[in-house]
Structure 1
């Protein structure tokens, strides 16, 4: 039986996506990231082209090596400048009535109450088409930007994140009952006070007493994304996430990750299929494989190697140029983000550096005719049981336009994308069930339970 895939678009509200320096390509319009029309036009294209969601990555930080921001970071727009992606969503949601949106927000610095309030607001404004990509922030520079007095180690960041989510569940799931809002003009009663409950949380990291001051949105809690590759990250995802981004360098390693996250979900009391698995995908098609490969090399000629190295440092805290090129990357450790470190286990520093300069965070890069590319996508899904892809363009909007024109029709012909775009809330599309988190999810225990006689 052919599996229908979920298709996302990977974006950032800044100059470069993951190939540092590609902003300068003549066909790339990412320099327009400050213009709202850039985003609403892109959202319409994705909506009309069969995409399910746009995923907006984000981070507060920028590259710092030995206490200095390298000049190349400013010259090539490496993680600086960039804007807040959350503010784009209402306009894009209005322009693209089916498209869903995933937005990154960190559990390390923003207060849980403010974050929950923003996502509840977006849940209303998008009519249930919003997801929260839950991340922990590892950058020392962000610690300084927010005036924090200590750098938090990796595993403790996930302990903080778990408490953060549980407090968010209490605010989003437990403060207002389903029928608390009356909106009865005749009786002049907007809400039933007896059905709105104070949240009282005094934990290790957070203290909150009070009411959620946003009424529940269509989904209550936004769809939960997660991308951690460490053991702590995978355990966190197994208990909370509904969609997980996996690092795919080849089919066997990706298949093992899919199996691992589903097994962990079952150990957490959930069904393995409660978590959808997604990996990165970049595609270049042409009338011949050789032409597609030539186009790829032309794009890559714009990548700045120094910019790529400082980009890696901004994510991981690791300066690739300071490592022994012949050393094993399996020996590299960090208290920073580990996803891009785990990816290169089993390779040398030289190999890892060359791959990251060429590919950045890209995972599967496929070139060829449309038929050849879809053959490889179909084989990859068959071999791994993956649920979807996060499409990463080389140039915007050209990479999307080509994918929609050349690849989407063939995916539909083979039953791998629906002929008619999915509708409903984001959670309904992912789960095939209702708009709220199921009873098996740990958020359910934070819902108000009526008193028993």
Structure 2
């Protein structure tokens, strides 16, 4: 049995995916403004054997029919929330092995400034950094930034131009060995080994030196989630970790197969992209008691808040659709990941599922042995490389999982006895800290045989 990647899914806000659960007596996310809350959570995950804390983010907030409903404020649906990037340095300074993945948008950031922040955090974390690359569809965010909306597929073309500039900045401006830091000769860097980059793409133009020296990984681990054809093509070319969306094992198995095939078609090896799925766990002394706890958690979900949440991600008001219509007829220029997962359902079925699950994919319920057995079976059947653990309550869901389930996963060989160390890329791939030689970003390195193609 292979070792899996174990990630924790969080936002720097009040609700995660089950809208309304913020008010549960065991929930501590209302403390999201307190640095101690985040440092303690990171330390718990670090001790508990998690590889990664993934911090999702967006600038937007819900809007339906040009109005932000009162329920968005009453139930804290995507508002308020803070910038999670600013948490990483503090959490990294209090942990030794845990890595962090941050989210930035290629639609509303500039490649140079974004690359500078990535390089800085990769230095400060000792290479424990991933970058979740997203495109942004929200009309609200377009208005906040004073920009016109960009059609779905064009957003991915823009993202590719953005990330190609980023590769040049992080991989080719400074040669290996350019930094000397020699006080005796009073030479910090060898000027002959530092180079300006030139990029004149369809969306971005950058000319000049990158003013950050190379960080441990140079390019952080590239993380991406996209279910549309354009999103999958982008992942095939760039992603090292891909978040998959599936309600059941069969759907996830198909997605893993598609991911492997897409990597090969892009000139990469099948295992060069790791596929991970969302996972929520509720455990108890018996399966019946665990199921009872799950139902109690779900009883806190506010249906109007959940529908508002869905609209904020997709631009689709579920209430406005014919409940008996096939969801395959639904079209949007917004985010499509939460649309594609319901292609085989009616609107009524999709609505009922989302009101229960939110964005959660797999919900595993039972005794610790039951849960570990089901996770092992899922990995074996689907070929998944890991899971993005989504708590119901924080930190309680993590504490329960770490205390009761992690030891069982270690017994089954799914997790190492001692947490993996090194940079995030070394932990995930078991090799060096740099992008693999068959990755698109490696092609721009100085001396690369194909550098002129990028």
Normalised-by-shorter TM-score class? over 0.9
Q: Distance in 2 between matches of 1:340 and 1:253?
A: 14
Alpha-carbon separation, structure 1, partners of 2:329 and 2:388? 29
Deviation, structure 1 residue 449: 2.5
Q: How many residues align?
A: 449
Let me know the Cα RMSD of the aligned residues.
Answer: 0.9
Q: TM-score, normalised by structure 1?
A: 0.98
Q: Within 5 Å, give how 1:254-269 maps onto structure 2.
A: 254-269=252-267
Partner of 1:171: 169
| Structure 1 gap segments, 5+ residues each | none
Question: Distance in 1 between the 2:446 and 2:377 partners?
Answer: 46
Structure 1's consecutive aligned runs of 4 or more residues displaced over 3 angstroms after TM superposition are: none
SS at match of 2:363: strand
Alignment of 1:361-376 (within 5 A): 361-376=359-374
Q: Shift of residue 248 of structure 1?
A: 2.1
- Aligned pair 1:135/2:147, yes or no? no
| Aligned equivalents of 1:289, 1:437: Cα separation in 2 | 43
Q: CA offset at residue 432 of structure 1?
A: 1.3
State the Cα distance separating 1:3 from its structure 2 match. 1.1
In 1, Cα distance between equivalents of 2:297 and 2:384? 28
1:36-435 aligned at under 5 Å gives the runs 36-148=35-147, 150-435=148-433
Range 19-28 or range 243-252, more displaced: 243-252
Secondary structure (helix, strand or coil) at the match of 2:223 reads: strand
Instruction: State how far apart, in whole Å, the 2-side matches of 1:390 and 1:357 are.
Output: 20
Aligned residue for 1:128, secondary structure, equals coil
Deviation of 1:447 (Å): 1.1
Q: CA deviation at 1:147?
A: 1.1
Q: Distance in 1 between matches of 2:375 and 2:312?
A: 31
- Matches of 2:444 and 2:130, distance apart in 1: 19
Query: Distance in 2 between the 1:449 and 1:194 partners?
Result: 14
Moved more, 116-125 or 372-381: 372-381
Where 1:407 maps in the other structure, the secondary structure is: helix
Shift of 1:97: 1.1
Q: For 1:375 and 1:414, locate their aligned partners in 2 and report how far apart those are by CA, in whole Å.
A: 9
**Partners of 1:435 and 1:373 in 2: how far apart?**
33
Q: Measure the CA separation in 1 of the matches of 2:193 and 2:327.
A: 55
Could you give the per-residue CA deviations for residues 90-145 of structure 1, whole angstroms, max 9, x where no partner exists? 00011111000011111001100000000000000000000000000000110111
- CA offset digits 1:204-245 (Å, max 9, x no partner): 101111111110100000000010001110110011000000
User: Once the 2 structures are TM-superposed, how far is the Cα of residue 375 of structure 1 from its aligned partner?
Assistant: 1.1
Correspondence for 2:452? none
In 2, Cα distance between the equivalents of 1:262 and 1:450? 25
Taking the aligned partners of 2:164 and 2:334, their CA distance within structure 1 comes to: 24
Take 1:223 and 1:145, find their aligned partners in 2: how far apart are those partners?
Answer: 29
| CA displacement 1:40-95 (0-9 Å, x = unmatched) | 00000000001100000001100011111110001110000000010000000111
What TM-score do the two structures reach when normalised by structure 2?
0.98
Matching residue of 1:7: 6
Q: For the residues of structure 2 that align with 1:401 and 1:14, how far apart are their CA atoms?
A: 20
Secondary structure of the 1:336 match is coil
**CA distance in 1 between partners of 2:56 and 2:162 (Å):** 20
Q: What whole-Å deviation, never above 9, does each CA across 1:390-409 have from its counterpart, x for those lacking one?
A: 00000001000000011000
Q: Does the residue aligned with 1:103 lie in a helix, a strand or coil?
A: strand
1:412-436: per-residue Cα shift (whole Å, max 9, x none)?
A: 0111100010000000111111100
> In the aligned structure 2, how far is the partner of 1:277 from the partner of 1:129?
19
Partners of 1:291 and 1:430 lie apart in 2 by 35
- Which runs of no fewer than 5 residues in structure 2 stay unpaired? 450-454
* Residues in 1 aligned to 2:407 and 2:160: alpha-carbon distance in whole angstroms: 41
Offset at residue 448 of structure 1 (A):
1.8
Q: Distance in 2 between matches of 1:219 and 1:166?
A: 17
Q: Distance in 2 between matches of 1:96 and 1:355?
A: 37
Note the C-alpha offset of 1:450. 8.6
